[in-house]
Amino acid sequence: EIDGDLRHACSVCLNMIWRLRPEVCEEIADLLSPIRLAQPYAAIHISRCDKHNEVRHADVIDYVKLLEQTRPDLTTVFVAGDDFSTICELKQVRPDFNWVGLATAERNGQRQKTFKQFSIMERRRKTMELLAELEVLRGSELFVGTSSSNIGRLMELFKGKNNCLFV
């Protein structure tokens, strides 16, 4: 039932229509099978590459502080984003946390111009990785990201304001 403002209406509609095809769900399950994600978990999305030209990116410590202040019990954290080095930085800040992600060392930033130059198969693979990350972000107890990111705004629509924090 829609009984709020436009953002609430968008959230209700999004949650009603977001349905992935069964074959996409199977592929996502395959992509996620190697990672071990203990429940409950938090999720962080850090976008650096294309956003770098638009806004100053927050330091990883800002994400960690926000998480610690809000839900210190959540020490398993899924990290999504366009740069593998963020997981490495997070591990240095809080080596006692269980940092989990799909990114490999080859992921060093998402540039839209570069993405368009990839083959159709490579673009599809990267799109499936993004969908897999979105599904894990959606399933988290708490999401930490930026409101300047489309992913952050999408998670707020999926999860509501109470389960999303922005640096």
Residues 6+ apart with CB under 8 A from 3: none
The reported pLDDT for the residue numbered 8 is 87
The reported pLDDT for the residue numbered 111 is 56
Q: What pairs with residue 108 in β-bridges?
A: 83
Q: What residue ranges of the chain have pLDDT lower than 70? A: 49-55, 105-113, 115
Q: What's the whole-model pTM score?
A: 0.87
The closest alpha carbon to 99, from 134, 135, 132, 63, belongs to 63
